[in-house]
């Protein structure tokens, strides 16, 4: 696959202009990078979430590829149905395309929590499709409720911060590793700032036989109370602070750390990521100083463990 800049810029867009995602949202950039890595005819299945709601407000659609919207919980099931439907029609000689890629898209709510059963089932059955989650850390579309992807210390409308609570207390689900435990051929974490790494991994995910899973980080200025211009900067900081390290897992066993994470000599303090966001503001008061240190310790410990798994010193 050509990774020349000029070829990337000429790739046909999958999500056109005129969609109504918030100014500075990370998800359209993630979709654009996904579009740059496609290799031919593609069907996109989209679970309910910001992306679905804001790109297809009737009577408009911003999508330029075949696209289906399904309920919050069953996007993986619908994608597997499409894959098997195409296979059956090909056997009967009623389908003209030689190969069609099927992509399932879900937000973090639709993947980490609600759609997890359908996702796990589809992975176990082993259909040939790619599942991508764009992770913005809460149910941003319905009004910023906490999800399994919400970071510890994050303030949401169902985990308020104040004198009694520092926001969400629990950890974030390690979804990439949970999915990899299904022993599927390919799992990767990606980030829009490192766009070449993103495109290479997504293409790899399309090319493997069997299910593949991509965990994309997608900052949300509205829910995170950050400036809309800082979206991509936050995505970069998430990698540099170890909140969203970049790695691949092959066949559920072999961990490979990717270039941008591997070249980090030392993690930046997590404060740098938090300072840009209003949702972590309370952690910088004296009362929650200790909690912030705990979060930092947790992230450092996870990072050390990941380095050990990847065999990186």
Partner 1 sequence: MSKKSSEIPMAGNILEPGNAREYKTGGWRAERPKHNPEDCLWIKNGTCALCCIFCPDNAIKLSEKDGKFLYAYDYDYCKGCGICANECPKSCITMEAE
Among 7, 40, 60, 251, binds partner 1 (CB under 8 A): 60
Are 206 and 130 contacting, i.e. CB atoms less than 8 angstroms apart? yes
Q: How far is the CB of 268 from partner 1 (least distance, A)?
A: 18
H or E stretch at 4: none
Judged by DSSP in three states, 107 sits in strand
Nearer to partner 1, 192 or 242 (CB): 192
Q: Which is nearer to partner 1, 61 or 90 (CB)?
A: 61
Among residues 110, 153, 192, 211, the one that binds partner 1 under rule CB under 8 A: 192
Q: Which stretch binds partner 1 (CB under 8 A): 63-71, 91-99, 135-143, 301-309?
A: 63-71
User: Could you say which of 37, 55, 159, 277 contacts partner 1 (CB under 8 A)?
Assistant: 55
If you write DSSP's letter for every residue of 99-167 in order, what string do you get? --EEEEEEEHIIIIITTHHHHHHHHHHT-S-EEEEEE-SSBTTTT-B--TTPPTT--BTTB-BSSS-BS
Q: Is 263 in the site for partner 1 (CB under 8 A)?
A: no
Q: Strand 247-250 relative to strand 186-190: parallel, antiparallel, unpaired?
A: antiparallel
CB of 25 to partner 1, least distance (A): 6
Choice between 198 and 291, CB closer to partner 1:
198
Quick one: 109 or 221, whose CB is closer to partner 1? 221
Query: DSSP readout, 218-271?
Result: ---HHHHT--GGGHHHHHHHHHHTTSS--EEEETTTEEEE-HHHHT-SSPPPTH
Q: What share of the chain is helix, strand, coil (3-state, %, to 5)?
A: 40, 15, 40
Question: How many angstroms separate the CA atoms of 58 and 80, rounded?
Answer: 27
The residue (of 53 and 256) whose beta carbon lies closer to partner 1 is 53
Residue 136 · residue 112 · CB < 8 Å: no
C-alpha to C-alpha distance for 274 and 112, rounded to whole angstroms: 22
Cis ω before 306 (30° cut-off from 0):
no
Cβ closest to partner 1, residue 55 vs residue 111: 55
| Closer Cβ to partner 1, 60 or 160, answer by number | 60
# residues contacting partner 1 (CB under 8 A): 39
Contact by Cβ (8 Å): 227, 221:
yes
Q: Which of 154, 119, 120, 118 is nearest to 138 (CA)?
A: 154
The C-alpha atoms of residue 148 and residue 29 are separated, in whole angstroms, by: 23
In the window 5-44, what residues touch partner 1 (CB under 8 A)?
Answer: 5-6, 8-9, 13, 16-21, 23-29, 32-33
Tell me: does residue 260 bind partner 1 (CB under 8 A).
Answer: no
Q: Which stretch binds partner 1 (CB under 8 A): 201-209, 226-234, 242-250, 274-282?
A: 226-234
Minimum CB separation of residue 72 from partner 1 in Å reads 22
Among 62, 78, 243, 246, which residue sits at the site for partner 1 (rule: CB under 8 A)?
Answer: 62
- Build a one-symbol-per-residue string for 229-248: x at contacts with partner 1 by CB under 8 A, - elsewhere: xxxxx---------------
Binding residues for partner 1 (CB under 8 A): 5-6, 8-9, 13, 16-21, 23-29, 32-33, 55, 58-65, 192, 195, 221, 227-233
């Amino acid at each position: 696959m050509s990774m020349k800049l000029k070829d990337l810029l000429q790739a046909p867009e999958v999500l056109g202009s005129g969609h109504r995602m918030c100014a500075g949202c990370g998800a359209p950039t993630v979709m654009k990078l996904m579009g740059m890595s496609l290799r031919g005819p593609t069907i996109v299945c989209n679970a309910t979430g910001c992306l679905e709601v804001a790109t297809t407000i009737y009577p408009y659609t911003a999508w330029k590829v075949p696209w289906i919207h399904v309920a919050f919980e069953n996007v993986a099931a619908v994608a597997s149905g499409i894959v098997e439907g195409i296979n059956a029609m090909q056997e009967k000689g009623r389908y003209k395309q030689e190969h069609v890629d099927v992509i399932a898209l879900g937000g973090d709510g639709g993947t980490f929590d609600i759609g997890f059963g359908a996702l796990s089932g589809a992975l176990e059955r082993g259909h040939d499709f790619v599942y991508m989650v764009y992770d913005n850390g809460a149910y941003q579309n319905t009004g910023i409720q906490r999800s399994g992807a919400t970071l510890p210390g994050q303030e949401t409308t169902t985990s308020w911060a104040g004198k009694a609570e520092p926001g969400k207390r629990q950890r974030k689900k390690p979804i990439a590793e949970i999915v990899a435990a299904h022993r599927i051929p390919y799992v990767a974490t990606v980030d829009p700032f490192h766009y070449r790494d993103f495109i290479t991994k997504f293409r790899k995910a399309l090319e493997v036989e069997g299910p593949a899973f991509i965990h994309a980080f997608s900052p949300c200025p509205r829910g995170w109370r950050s400036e809309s211009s800082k979206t991509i900067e936050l995505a970069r900081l998430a990698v540099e602070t170890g909140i969203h390290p970049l790695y691949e897992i092959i066949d559920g066993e072999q961990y490979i750390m990717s270039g941008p994470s591997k070249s980090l000599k030392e993690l930046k303090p997590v404060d740098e990521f938090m300072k840009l966001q209003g949702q972590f503001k309370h952690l910088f008061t004296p009362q929650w100083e200790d909690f912030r240190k705990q979060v930092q310790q947790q992230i450092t410990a996870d990072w050390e463990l990941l380095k050990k798994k990847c065999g990186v010193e």
